Structure 1
Amino acid sequence: MATNFNPEHSEGPVAKAIEQQTAKLPSDLFLWAAVGAIGVSLTLKLMQKDKLALFVGQWPAPFLLLGLYNKLVKLEGSD
């Protein structure tokens, strides 16, 4: 468990519950979700569904950020 260097600030019950659940997910899940979104976006673009392709094409970055958050929670823990 990581040491809390700022004891005045602690995680709330909702954040703790979310971190406990997301820590159970494998980190690869978010990477593959990002790769899948890129593939779906490319497929939609080839099908000339440009607006939908752009919409789905914006998903990889949030998936990768969620994966990074997941990895940090696993390594550092909450509080």
Structure 2
Amino acid sequence: MRSRQAESTLVLYMTSGCHLCEQAEALVRQQTAWVSAIEIVDDVELLERYGVRIPVLRRLDTGNELDWPFDVAGVQRLLSGYRPD
């Protein structure tokens, strides 16, 4: 069961014009509306951290991240708070 708290802390790091980012955003929005898309090119630190990894879905409350490629099951695990070993 997803909590509204968990969903409200999701961020998708991406860049405009990235077809993989668009696919990831569509997939995530099928699971929850509580996600903010963040453009990384506007922030040097984010660009350095995520530039070669995007799209990346992150839960701000736990710090857990999901790198592309991910699927519905991966998004659901992130939403549920599952943390891999």
Q: Per the shorter chain, which TM-score range?
A: under 0.3
Structure possessing the higher relative contact order (Cα contacts under 8 Å, 6 or more residues apart): 1
TM-score, reference length from structure 1: 0.27
Larger Rg: 1
User: Quick check: which one's helix share is greater?
Assistant: 1
TM-score, reference length from structure 2: 0.26
